[in-house]
């Protein structure tokens, strides 16, 4: 196995362990893994100094500050290796936010995913965060967009089980109204699906923005028509959203890791 692949696999395994423990009931007592040993202590210390300023920031401030920090770190240490830098930044950031008593588990996951997304944008490649992520998914448009198409097909059929099957175990759904982890999304969508007599998907326009076999980013605009059991009609017209997908190594197919809904309305 080439050295770069071993590095990626080691980083992937550590991040998978990190994410699983971060979200477990006993996560607060767990110490996050140390940054990869490929980086010197000086570099790790410098990264810690940079990312420490991200602790406790509100979402909007976090996005702005994290983007600056990510760009600065990758520019300053461009010869250190993008996988090593990515893993170290996420690992150190976890160590900083894990003890927080002001953020819920969903909010901690939200910040971790937001940082990882900024790292992907900056480095141009993703560091896998799911278990067994050595397997790569096909990047053909039909394969990448399959779970999103299936999601809207499930709405049209009011098949909540098909809908939920498109989401990864550690998925998160966000909008200006909410941040939900997978368990919350499951209970909410079961209630939502049961409340409608019919749903018409009038338009979707998913477009692939990034896909490297491990992670994909997709934008979408949808128009839907809902009829509730109490007779109320709801129309959502030209609603903008985005998705982050991750490769499910057990099946070699894409699943939804993140959904950012209601980005705009037409």
Residue 178, token pair as written in the block: 């909410």
Instruction: Measure the CA–CA gap between 18 and 252, rounded to whole angstroms.
Output: 22
Residue-wise pLDDT tens for the chain (266 aa)?
A: 444 344 444 444 444 444 444 444 433 333 455 556 667 777 888 888 888 889 888 888 999 999 999 999 999 888 777 878 888 888 888 888 888 888 888 888 888 888 989 988 888 878 765 444 456 899 999 999 999 999 999 999 999 999 999 999 889 999 988 888 888 999 999 999 999 999 999 999 999 999 998 899 999 999 999 999 999 999 999 999 999 999 988 889 999 999 999 999 98
DSSP string, 193-223: HHTEEEEEEEEE--EEEEE-SSEEEEEEEEE
- Nearest CA among 242, 248, 107 for reference residue 165: 248
> Tokens 């099946």 — which residue?
251
């Amino acid at each position: 196995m080439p050295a770069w692949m071993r590095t990626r696999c080691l980083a992937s395994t550590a991040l998978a362990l990190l994410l699983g423990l971060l979200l477990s009931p006993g996560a607060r007592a767990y110490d996050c893994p140390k940054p990869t040993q490929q980086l010197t202590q000086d570099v790790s210390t410098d990264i810690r100094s940079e990312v420490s300023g991200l602790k406790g920031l509100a979402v909007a401030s976090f996005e702005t500050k994290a983007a600056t920090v990510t760009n600065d770190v990758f520019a300053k240490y461009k010869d250190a290796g993008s996988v090593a830098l990515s893993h170290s930044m996420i690992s150190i950031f976890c160590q900083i936010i894990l003890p927080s008593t002001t953020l819920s588990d969903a909010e901690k996951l939200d910040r971790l995913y937001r940082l990882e997304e900024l790292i992907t944008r900056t480095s141009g490649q993703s560091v896998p965060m799911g278990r067994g992520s050595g397997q790569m998914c096909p990047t053909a448009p039909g394969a990448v967009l399959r779970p999103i198409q299936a999601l809207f097909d499930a709405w049209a059929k009011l098949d909540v089980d098909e809908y939920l099957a498109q989401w990864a175990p550690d998925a998160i759904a966000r909008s200006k109204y909410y941040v939900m982890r997978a368990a919350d999304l499951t209970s909410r969508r079961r209630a939502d699906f049961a409340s409608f007599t019919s749903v018409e998907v009038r338009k979707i326009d998913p477009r692939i923005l990034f896909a490297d076999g491990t992670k994909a980013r997709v934008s979408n605009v949808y128009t839907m028509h809902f009829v509730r059991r109490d007779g109320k009609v709801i129309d959502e017209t030209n609603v903008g959203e985005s998705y982050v997908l991750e490769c499910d190594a057990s099946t070699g197919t894409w699943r939804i890791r993140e959904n950012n809904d209601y980005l705009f309305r037409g």
